[in-house]
Structures are given as structure tokens and as C-alpha cells.
Amino acid sequence: MKCSIVDLGLIDYQDAYRFQKETIQKVLEDTNSRLLICEHRAVFTMGRKADEKFLLVHPNDFVQQNISVVRVDRGGEITFHGPGQMVIYPIFDLNAIKDLRIFLWKLEEVVIDLLRYFGIVANRQKGYTGVWVGEKKIASVGIGVKKWISYHGIGLNVSTDLRFFSMIKPCGLDVVMTSMAQELGQVVDPAKVKEKLIEIMASEFKLEIIP
Amino acid sequence: MNEIRVPFLGDGIDKVIVCHWHHKPGDVIAQGEDLVEVEADKAIFNIPCEHNGRLTKILIAQGQGALIGQVIATVENT
């Protein structure tokens, strides 16, 4: 599968969302997949079925801290995106797979392999999506699919300020979040994480990286 | 009358939750246009309309479950 890498850098969630929608159209036109990588300013996002009871503080508190709350067309409950979290949006042509569960499994596998490379043992938890280090969650996974082109994706906590997660019930669960920096006890170079992520993603999805 | 069914979404996925209807009965819809979003696992899947036509009936409301292959709406040709 041909795929180009698009590094969006630090970008507002809504701008990245619009970019994803535009990119879906491009993939439908030329069938070349795109891997979008970025980081968001602080934002809470809620999936289609997400329950507002999982916001644990009053919405005014978010306004005071300049954090927005956005409802989006992905699966899953509420989650947080912010600086230090690597957000990966695979806008992939899934027509050769046509299987949501396999695609989600592969995305999780990419994160597990990536974390293993950096010395972190991570796994899946039965009945839940995402990637976990013991009982702590380190990466959230939630996707949308339109005409078998995927959007949304993975939020991997590289050095995220984990205090933001205490303002919500992440994914509707009583879950403790963690990050690569917390697990390793030191700061991780995001450029190295990005480089390795692309390599592992290319291997897992048999991507031919194009300019 | 054309039946809109929940398509095969992958091995082991036998049901979905209907999340969001993009149209209401009476709307004219073009072939390929998104009709409804369903959720399976942590994936939202957009089911397109396979025919040019008018949405006549929504059989599964938002928030309700449906099995793979189940008819969830009907569309009449225009």
C-alpha cells in the first residue's frame, strides 16, 4: 500500500479534523494512503456515544483553563489530547482488509511494538481497545471509517501532562493513565518516537512510503 | 423498495449500535452518500446509500442495536 507521511506539527484539534476529512477525499481519488502525525493543544474529545457524566468538572472550569470540549464522529468515550501526546491519524485505504477488528488490532500492535523498542512492556486488555502498561493505559485507539477509508486513530502519551486526565473518566473507565516518560522515568525524544513509529507502521501495514 | 442492511464489518463483529442517522424519512439521497453511522468496538462506520432514492423508513433508531445483515432502513427509487 502506497502511503505518504504528513507531519502536521502542533495543530488545533478542529483544524486537524478538517484536514483529515480533506485527506479522505484525496485517498478516495488517488488510493494512496496518508499517515498524519501531530500534536494537539489541550482538548477533550467525546465519541458519538460518549456520556457527559464522564466529564468530572464543570464545563466552566475548562473555559477558564482555555480547554475546549469537542464531540466527534469516532467510537469510544471521552479522552484528552494535549502537548506531549503523539496523535497518529492513519488515513488508510482499507479496501484490501475490510475488517475493522483486524485494523484496530494492527494499530494496537504497532504501539505495543513501538513501546517494546523503547523498553516498555505493553499489552492489550481483554474487552477494551487501546494499549496498556499493566493496569495503566498509555495509548487510546478510536477510529472512524468512511467508504473503507479510515480516520481518527491513536493518541500515545509520550510525555503528556497526565493531570489533565483527572478531569475526566477516560474512556468511561476508572483507569489510571500513564506515559512513556513516566514509565521510563526520563524524557523521551519525540523525534525518535516518530521515526520508529513510521518504521513499525510501514512494516505492520506493508506500506511503501512515498513522498 | 431497496433495503439498507448492516454490512459485514469483520470477523467476530456480529452486532453494531446505530449512532447517528444523517437523514430523516422523506429525504432524497444520492448513491454513495453517507446514510447512517454505526459503532462496532471502538470504530464508527459510515454506511452509504447504495441507490439514488428517497429514504422511506428508519427501522432502527439511534442508540439501538442491530445485527450484521439486518435491514435498518428502506429507500425507494426516485
- Copy the grid coordinates of residue A139: 495509548
Query: Taking residues A95-117, what's their average pLDDT?
Result: 96
Cβ neighbours of residue A117 closer than 8 Å, sequence gap 6 or more: A196, A200
What is the pLDDT, as a whole number, of residue A166?
86
Q: Give the residue from chain B lying closest to A102, CA to CA.
A: B10
Residue A117, pLDDT above cutoff 70: yes
* Check: complex ipTM more than 0.90: yes
- The verdict on whether A171 is a catalytic residue reads yes
Kindly state whether A142 is in contact with chain B, defined as any CB-CB distance less than 8 angstroms: yes
What is the pLDDT, as a whole number, of residue A172?
65
Q: What is the pLDDT of residues B19-77, one digit of tens each?
A: 999 999 999 999 999 999 999 987 999 999 988 999 999 999 999 999 999 999 999 99
Strand B71-77 and strand B28-29: pairing? unpaired
Sign of the Cα torsion A124, A125, A130, A131 reads negative
Whether A168 and A56 have beta carbons less than 8 Å apart is answered as yes
Q: Give the residue from chain B lying closest to A129, CA to CA.
A: B42
C-alpha span between B49 and B32 (Å, rounded):
5
More confident residue, A9 or A171: A9
Query: Which of A76, A99, A144 has its CB closest to that of B11?
Result: A99
What is the pLDDT, as a whole number, of residue B58?
98
> DSSP letter string over A98-162?
--HHHHHHHHHHHHHHHHHHTT---EEETTEEEEEETTEEEEEEEEEEETTEEEEEEEEESS--G
Query: Taking residues A54-77, what's their average pLDDT?
Result: 78
Residue A60, pLDDT above cutoff 80: no
Kindly state whether A170 is in contact with chain B, defined as any CB-CB distance less than 8 angstroms: no
Q: Mean pLDDT across chain A, nearest whole number?
A: 92
Q: What is the pLDDT of residues A140-169, one digit of tens each?
A: 998 999 999 999 999 999 999 999 888 887
pLDDT band at A174 (very low <50, low <70, confident <90, very high): confident
Whether A88 and A37 have beta carbons less than 8 Å apart is answered as yes
Query: b/e for A100-139, b at 16 or more Cβ within 10 A?
Result: bbebbebbbebbbbbbeeeebebebeeeebbbbbeebbbb
Residue A106, pLDDT above cutoff 80: yes
Query: Taking residues A10-34, what's their average pLDDT?
Result: 96
Cα separations in angstroms, A173 against A81, A82, A86: 17, 20, 22
Residue A75, pLDDT above cutoff 70: no
